Amino acid sequence: MPSSQPAPLSASASSALSPSRSECRLPPLDIPVPTVLVASARTARKAGPEPTHVLKSATELFLAREGHSLREITVFRELALNLLPATDVAVRREMSCGLALHPDTPGDVLVALAGDSDPFTAFPLLHHVEELPDDVLIRQVERGPDGLRKTIAERPWLSDAVVDALLRHSGAGVIEALLLRDDVELTGPQIDSLLKRPDAATGFGNMLRYKVRLTDGQLMGHFLYLTPEERPQAIAAAELFTLAEMGRKGLTRPLRPTFKPTVLHILQECAMAPDPALFMAEMTYALKLPRAFVERMVREDDGQTLTIALKALGFERHVASAILIRMVGARVRFKALRDLVRLYGGISHGAAMLLVDRWISAEAGVRKVPAGDEGVFQQSVQAEMAARDSQMRDESARSDQPRRVGAYQETVRPAARRADHTRADSGSSEDRRKDYPWREIEEIENILKFG
């Protein structure tokens, strides 16, 4: 439980007015104070506007003692809320430093000063006042700078909305301060957003991996942003998921990509062009990945992400090797190129297609591919299921057909012909000559039957 007493002020920077006339120190927020602001403050002391002088005098009287009556507090509240927008910034800074520690300061006045656009005015309230509305905190997080954001990150309690705003707008130092807190539990989308940051590979990225354990889905979806130690885990998870999905669907043959040969031919020609921009544009169109993702995959990654993407497209091994040499050969060593070719031959088409689908989902900010927009993995599964069903129908149709009569099986002559044959045996020689072909057939059948 945080203490009800206000925390002691920081011991650095400039002074301002306080109830006991002692020093109220402000932190270095890394904000240069404009010369115009200093000049305007001096002008206000000489012949300043009416609101500034009135509110400054009223604040000095209010801070002079404690235990104000309800009427006095109400009068000061109305005066402060009406005159603050027109008060000089230097006076607002003095007011905030003193009113932040006074026990009788009205809550509305504290909120108004905490939401001030001047960070030096807002800091004492953000540092000392425990209860402030989330909308005020979020607005100050969006304004910055990081010195003010760090003050908010170190408050005794933070709502999920404020934590989310801090993660979206803060630098690495503020995020490290958040990760050090035991009471802040990061959600899946928040972890996703942190993993996508360029500075997540070092610094707070190591703290993030120590604080939370990445799930298989996060490992697969954020393959491009993983460390070299985490990538084999993502590939293994994709292989296991592929086998489980094939078993659930009753598929026995390996999954194959469904891209047309013309698409692969166009991609190959673009890869051999002098400018890789055309290849990246075609990859963006073919795999439905964001252009920024594809550019980072081609220009900055070590080649593993591109290798998996080529496997998902269904290139032959020698073609994929040529594309890898063309795209990443200038910035990786020969041993690394051999490892990429080995990775291409080791990973299955199904796992590669599943990884690409997870990249699409992660970059789109959804947990799975929306219905009606199946990814390459599901397209391959559906094609394999259709081929299996077609083969089963063909086998069923062949089994329903009547069996063919054997070449040496005795046949039964139709009844009408059998009757004619009987009459021919008892008839004239002319009739027997007419029925001779039938007798000849019968003799041949007997020879075939008995030898």
The structure tokens listed for 84 are: 């603050």
The CA angle 438-439-442, to the nearest 5 degrees, is 90
Residue type, 144: G
Whether pLDDT at 234 is above 90: yes
User: What local confidence, expressed as pLDDT, does residue 107 receive?
Assistant: 92
pTM metric for this prediction = 0.63
Averaged confidence pLDDT in the chain: 78
HEC per residue, the chain: CCCCCCCCCCCCCCCCCCCCCCCCCCCCCCCCCCHHHHHHHHHHHHHCCHHHHHHHHHHHHHHCCCCCCHHHHHHHHHHHHHHHHHCCHHHHHHHHHHHCCCCCCCHHHHHHHHCCCCHHHHHHHHHHCCCCCHHHHHHHHHHCCHHHHHHHHCCCCCCHHHHHHHHHHCCHHHHHHHHCCCCCCCCHHHHHHHHCCHHHHCCHHHHHHHHCCCCHHHHHHCHHHCCCCCHHHHHHHHHHHHHHHHHHHCCCCCCCCCCCHHHHHHHHHHHCCCCCHHHHHHHHHHHCCCHHHHHHHHHCCCCHHHHHHHHHHCCCHHHHHHHHHHHHCCCCCHHHHHHHHHHHHHCCHHHHHHHHHHHHHHHHCCCCCCCCCCCHHHHHHHHHHHHHHHHHHHHHHHHHCCCCCCCCCCCCCCHHHHHHHHHHHHCCHHHHHHCHHHHHHHHHHHHHHHC
CA distances (Å), origin 158, targets 109, 119, 153, 194: 21, 19, 8, 18
Segment 375-417, tens digit of pLDDT: 666 655 565 556 555 655 655 666 655 555 444 444 444 454 4
Residue 36 has pLDDT above 60, yes or no: no
First to last CA, the chain: 108
Q: What is the pLDDT of residue 35?
A: 41
Q: Is residue 99's pLDDT more than 90?
A: yes
What's the rounded mean pLDDT across residues 315-324? Answer: 93
Residue 258 has pLDDT above 90, yes or no: no
Q: Is the pLDDT of residue 239 over 50?
A: yes
Q: Are 205 and 278 in contact (CB under 8 A)?
A: no
Please determine, for residue 202, whether its predicted confidence score (pLDDT) is greater than 50.
yes
Q: Is the dihedral of CA 284, 289, 293, 296 positive or negative?
A: negative
Please say if the pLDDT value at position 39 is more than 50.
no
Distance CA 298, CA 340 (A): 14
Instruction: Tell me the pLDDT tens digit for each residue of 350-370.
Output: 999 999 999 998 887 644 444
> pLDDT band at residue 12, thresholds of 50, 70 and 90?
very low
Q: How far is CA 195 from the centre of its chain?
A: 8
Q: Domain segments of the chain: what residues? A: 8-127, 133-213, 261-392, 425-450
pLDDT of 301 strictly over 50? yes
Extract the tokens encoding 64.
């002079």
Evaluate if residue 42 carries a pLDDT over 50: no
pLDDT digits (tens, 9 = 90+) for 441-450: 666 666 666 5
* Tokens at 161, concatenated: 């909305």
Weakest-pLDDT range from 88-97, 179-188, 255-264, 420-429: 420-429
Other C-beta atoms lying within 10 Å of the C-beta of residue 171: 14
Which band of pLDDT confidence, cut at 50, 70 and 90, is reported for residue 346? very high
